[in-house]
Amino acid sequence: MQEHKVEWLNQSVRRSDGPILEATRQLALASSEPCQSVDWNGQTWYYGTGIRPADHPMRDEMRVLEYAMDHADCLFCEGKDVLVVALQGVVSPQSGDAYYDYEVKCNTCGKYSAVSYSED
């Protein structure tokens, strides 16, 4: 697979011409389903060919993801026509802090945007 240059816009936001997250490269690109889940590297990842942010099943499981999915736009063209191709999120049972990573692919320009969030 071709490596693409990843541009960091800040500590938690990245964009690239190609897939950014390892889960996207390893899982989503090989998938033929829009959204499925798997235990991978000790985390539950949702991955696939893509699902609209408003329809992603994790947005109902983590309140913080509901807000994030409402603002999941392309970081290149600022388009709203994006599909979530990889996502994982968890709330720590010890601290109650939320953590998540997700990647979207833009249907307008074809580029990828990734966001990582750590509440602590």
For 64-89, the pLDDT digits (tens) are: 788 888 889 999 999 999 999 999 99
pTM of the model: 0.91
Q: What is the pLDDT of residue 101?
A: 94
pLDDT confidence of residue 63: 78
By percentage, how much of the chain surpasses pLDDT 70? Answer: 98
Residue 94 lies in a domain: yes
* Residues 79, 77: Cα–Cα separation, whole Å: 5
In a domain, 28, yes or no: yes
Flag whether 1 is in a domain. no
Task: Specify the 3-state DSSP secondary structure of 85.
Answer: strand
For the segment 44-56, what is each residue's pLDDT rounded down to a tens digit?
A: 999 999 999 999 9
- Residue 76 contacts residue 14 (beta carbons within 8 Å): no
Q: How confident is the model at residue 57 (pLDDT cuts 50, 70, 90)?
A: very high
Look at residue 120 and tell me whether its pLDDT is greater than 90: no
User: How far is residue 105's CA from residue 69's CA, in Å, rounded to a whole number?
Assistant: 13
CA distances in angstroms from 1 to 15, 30, 65, 104, 105, listed in the order given: 18, 12, 30, 19, 17
In the chain, the number of structural domains is: 1
Containing structural domain, residue 86 = 6-118
> Quick check: is 67 in a domain?
yes
Nearest to 58, CA basis, from 96, 23, 94, 99: 99
Contacts of residue 86, defined as CB under 8 A and 6 or more positions apart, other chains included, come to 21, 23, 24, 27, 28, 45, 46, 47, 101, 102, 103
Which pLDDT belongs to residue 1? 58
* Type of residue numbered 101: D
31 pLDDT higher than 80: yes
Residue 93 has pLDDT above 90, yes or no: no
Q: Does residue 92 surpass a pLDDT of 70?
A: yes
Residues 44, 42: Cα–Cα separation, whole Å: 7
